[in-house]
Structure 1
Amino acid sequence: MINSVDFTKRLQKIIDYYSESASSFAEKIGVQRSSISHILSGRNKPSLDFVMKVLSTYPEVELYWLMNGKGDFPSKPKISESPLSNTPETKTTPPQPDLNIVSHSDSDQEIDKIVIFYKNGTFKSYKP
Structure 2
Amino acid sequence: MSIKDRFKMIMEREKLTAGAFAESIGVAQATISHILGPRNKYPSTEVILRLHQRYSDINLEWLLTGQGSMSNDAEASASTPENIGADYPLFAENAENPDKGTDEPENRKEMALAKPLNTPKEIVKQEIIYKERPPRKITEIRIFFDDNTYETFKPA
- Normalising by the smaller structure, the TM-score range is 0.5 to 0.7
- Alignment deviations for residues 36-83 of structure 1 (CA, whole Å, 9 cap, x no partner): 0000114321000000000000011111000111121122339xxxxx
**Aligned twin of 1:61:** 58
Supply the distance in 2 between the matched residues of 1:31 and 1:25 (Cα, whole angstroms): 9
Supply the distance in 2 between the matched residues of 1:24 and 1:32 (Cα, whole angstroms): 10
**Aligned twin of 1:76:** 73
**SS, match of residue 73 in structure 2:** coil
Matches within 5 A, 1:3-82: 6-43=2-39, 44-77=41-74
> Unaligned regions of 5+ residues in structure 2, if any?
76-87, 89-93, 97-156
Q: What is the aligned-residue RMSD (CA, Å)?
A: 2.3
- Alignment deviations for residues 5-24 of structure 1 (CA, whole Å, 9 cap, x no partner): 61000010000000001000
Which structure is richer in relative contact order (CA contacts within 8 A, separation 6 or more)? 1
% same residue: 29
Amino acid at match of 1:64: E
Amino acid at match of 1:8: K
Highest Rg: 1 or 2? 2
Q: CA deviation at 1:89?
A: 3.5
- Bigger proportion of residues as helix: 1
Amino acid at match of 2:28: Q
Matches within 5 A, 1:45-124: 45-77=42-74, 89=95
Supply the distance in 1 between the matched residues of 2:62 and 2:95 (Cα, whole angstroms): 27
Q: TM-score, normalised by structure 1?
A: 0.55
Task: Give 4+ residue runs of structure 1 displaced > 4 Å after superposition.
Answer: none
- Number of aligned positions between the proteins: 79
The 8 Å contact of residues 22 and 33 in structure 1, kept in 2 or not, is answered as yes
Q: 1:42 to 1:52 in 2, by over 3 A?
A: farther
